[in-house]
Homo-oligomer: A and B are copies of this chain.
Amino acid sequence: MSTPDQPSFPTSLGTSDLTSMSLLGKDVATELMGEVTFGELAYWLLTLQRPTRQQGRLFEAVLLGLADHGFTPTAIAARLTYLSAPDAIQGALASGLLGGGSRYLGVTEDTGRFLRAVVADLDEVPTDEAGWDEVALAAVRAQREKGTFVPGLGHPVHKQGDPRTPRIIEIAREEGQYGTNLALFEAIGRVHEQVLGKRLPLNGAGVSGAALADLGIPTELLRGTVLLARCAGLLGHVAEEIRRPIANSMYLSIDRNAVYVDPSDGQAG
């Protein structure tokens, strides 16, 4: 029992005694190692539910689609930090993760939160596409009236369609994990043009948010899930930087194009 002077700290994560080690109530050596994949463990840690193979396959597919997108600002930051402090690889990974804020990695969370809010407000869950289209239309109109974007729509490169989107929907269907959030997201893809006047692709970050919401990942952990995926990608960048260093050349390409502006001339940056 906990007293003010001697509090106790409950946990269901890792613990160990002289002869055993457990995690989530399972023996690490005999019940987890060799039995559960790393992605499945992550799902379990996030939800406190052991994933079925079906849930695990969709969850890992989502992680794969989010792991790396080349020279993003976060990947560049990780490489530059590794250049400066190669003795502390943890700093390079941390530096990259710190870019995981609202702007670039926030879409997955924003989409999941938006879809869940719309679904939570429904008196009745639609049973067919027409029903979902109606819900989607009202939701897109409401965003439009508030002057805010519909999260998950649009992509700077994949203007005609993000290749991850149909694939995640396909896997979700194959594995019996297609739920209300994906249904609503697909409906938004069908109807938004009526309201917004132009056709935008459902992007991969958004469909990931919808799939993770259907998988039961808590909303406030959606961004954390993206960060885990990204952690593998950042490790890949550090590995590549070790094999063929380019961060110094990145740094020089910026430094050599610096232009000094006198701070007193009204143009100062």
A84 and B74 contact, Cβ closer than 8 Å, known pairs A8-B259, A13-B68, A28-B64: yes
- Determine the distance from Cα of A160 to Cα of B22 in the docked complex, in whole angstroms: 17
A 230-269 to B, binary, CB cutoff 8 A, 1 in contact else 0: 0111011111101110110111111111111111100111
Which of the candidate stretches A131-139, A161-169, A184-192 sits at the interface with the other chain?
A161-169
How many of A's residues come within 8 Å of B, CB to CB? 137
A102 and B77 contact, Cβ closer than 8 Å, known pairs A9-B258, A18-B159, A28-B163: no
How close is A42's CB to chain B, nearest CB, in angstroms? 4
A98 and B81 contact, Cβ closer than 8 Å, known pairs A9-B250, A29-B164: yes
How close is A60's CB to chain B, nearest CB, in angstroms? 5
Query: Which chain B residues lie closer than 8 Å to A102 at the CB level?
Result: 85-87
Q: Could you list 6 further interchain pairs (A-B, Cβ under 8 angstroms) beyond the known A11-B70, A36-B60?
A: A11-B269, A18-B160, A29-B65, A29-B167, A87-B88, A244-B268
